[in-house]
Amino acid sequence: MRVIGNLAIFGDADEQTIAQMKQCLAVEDGAIGVLCADNHLGYSQPIGAAIAYREHISPSGVGFDIGCGNKAVLTNLKAADVDVPKVMDEIYRRISFGIGRKNNEPVDHPVLDEIRNANFKPQRALYDLAAEQLGTVGGGNHYVDLFADEHDRLWVGVHFGSRGFGHRTASGFLSLARGGRFEDHHVEGEMMSPPVVFKVDSEIGQAYIEAMTLAGKYAQAGRDLVCAKVLEILGAREVESVHNHHNFAWREEHGGETWWVIRKGCTPAFPGQRGFVGSTMGEESVILEGTKAGAKALFSTVHGAGRVMSRNEAAGKRRIGWGCSEEGCGWAQTGKGGKPKACPKCGSKRLVKRWVQVKPGKIDFDDVKRQLERKGIVLRGGAADEAPQAYKRLSQVLADQGDTIRILHRLRPLGVAMAGPEVWDPYKD
């Protein structure tokens, strides 16, 4: 760990990420910051960061995916007794990833009644969206995984947040901050945009805390429902669970003072508090707990391995364009233009709009899939921008956190389910 003023840095951090953190700390005299070892540049506040303010709350610090987090469930099953490919097929069939819901199984939860009667009244208009997406997983790095621990016990792990309900809530407050309406569309600014903050004792600050808390409840309910669905598919029961937000703000005591701690991509880890930290689709994840030494990290730790390349860098550049659906053709419109009368390659008129690769990325995802297959990992969905090569090594990231955490269980991946490469999801973190 190294310290720069009121900023503690675990592991490596590039100068731009440090500069972004300093910009956030400048909001308030005496603010305290932590960059965990999975840190990297984010929108307005780094991902893998915690900031403690006495008098401010930050919607840009919490981010667009309010309440994004991880849940892990230990089942009563042994991994060796599970037909992993069959279970992963059923998970991918019955749980919706990306945009939309691909099944008509009814989903209900008391949190929907809270949204219908939300104290922050503009959130009530988001009820239909919240009901439609409750229990869906989303895109990007959001997943449903099966794991085996060191005793061959089967675990279920999930990662996602508050979906469109949280995104619209965050966007609404960012619009209010610049004088607009909650219902207005907010355009995300540059990565180095100054942090948006509210005074905690202001009307808008209190409204944001109320709305953020409800979005967090919604995210937690979604993870509970998805885990319950996986247990149903497995015919298993829950033995114990570990559940945390990592995009949220909490009122906490540190050093004898009371603070608002804003964590973005950052897991709370108080002494004895357990957390599930996911890795990449091809490497071990962990169950960990915080220690007393974590005081120097604001009792915060990593939420994953941390990216080392952008999504476009990993997967290349894609856009929506016309492509031929004739089997074996493969033609796609790489330039801009309207719909051709027929495929210029094979003459077929079976043209559809789809994602078209216009610039190659650094990662060969077909090779990644072959590597996962050799390891015995069953993959459903996924894309190059979520390949292991796009991330740091979790083992090193955890080592860089030093004595602030203790590893309780190491979880070997058996099956990974994610949105496929054809999905773009505006609600990912």
Summarize pLDDT for 8-57 with one digit per residue, the tens: 999 999 999 999 999 999 999 999 999 999 999 999 999 999 999 999 99
With b for 16 or more beta-carbon neighbours within 10 A and e for fewer, the 12-33 pattern comes to ebeeebbebbebbbebeeebbb
Averaged pLDDT for residues 159-163:
97
Averaged pLDDT for residues 280-306:
97
Whether the predicted model's global pTM rises above the 0.75 cut: yes
- Confidence class for position 426, pLDDT limits 50, 70, 90: very low
| Helix ranges (DSSP H) in 30-141 | 59-62, 84-94, 110-116, 127-133
| CA angle at 388 for the pair 386 and 389, rounded to the nearest 5° | 100
Identify the pLDDT of residue 175.
Answer: 95
Identify the pLDDT of residue 267.
Answer: 98
Spatial separation of the C-alpha atoms in residues 333 and 337, rounded to whole Å: 8
Identify the pLDDT of residue 148.
Answer: 98
Nearest to 388 by CA among 160, 70, 87, 141: 141
| CA angle at 275 for the pair 380 and 56, rounded to the nearest 5° | 110
Examine the pLDDT at 422 and tell me if it is beyond 60.
no
Share of residues in the chain with pLDDT > 90 (%): 84
Averaged pLDDT for residues 275-293:
97
Nearest to 210 by CA among 117, 132, 133: 117
Q: Of 96-100, 103-107, 377-381, give the lowest mean pLDDT range.
A: 103-107
| Mean per-residue pLDDT of the chain | 93
Nearest to 144 by CA among 408, 398, 381, 373: 381
Classify residue 149 by its DSSP letter.
-
Spatial separation of the C-alpha atoms in residues 196 and 82, rounded to whole Å: 48
Residue that the structure tokens 């015919």 belong to:
235
Identify the pLDDT of residue 284.
Answer: 98
Share of residues in the chain with pLDDT > 70 (%): 96
Identify the pLDDT of residue 360.
Answer: 86
- Confidence class for position 428, pLDDT limits 50, 70, 90: very low
Examine the pLDDT at 386 and tell me if it is beyond 50.
yes
Identify the pLDDT of residue 424.
Answer: 42
Examine the pLDDT at 420 and tell me if it is beyond 70.
yes
Q: Which residue has the higher pLDDT, 49 or 317?
A: 49
Identify the pLDDT of residue 423.
Answer: 46
Averaged pLDDT for residues 276-288:
97
Question: 17 vs 14, 174, 401, CA distance in Å?
Answer: 5, 22, 18
Examine the pLDDT at 296 and tell me if it is beyond 70.
yes
Identify the pLDDT of residue 103.
Answer: 67
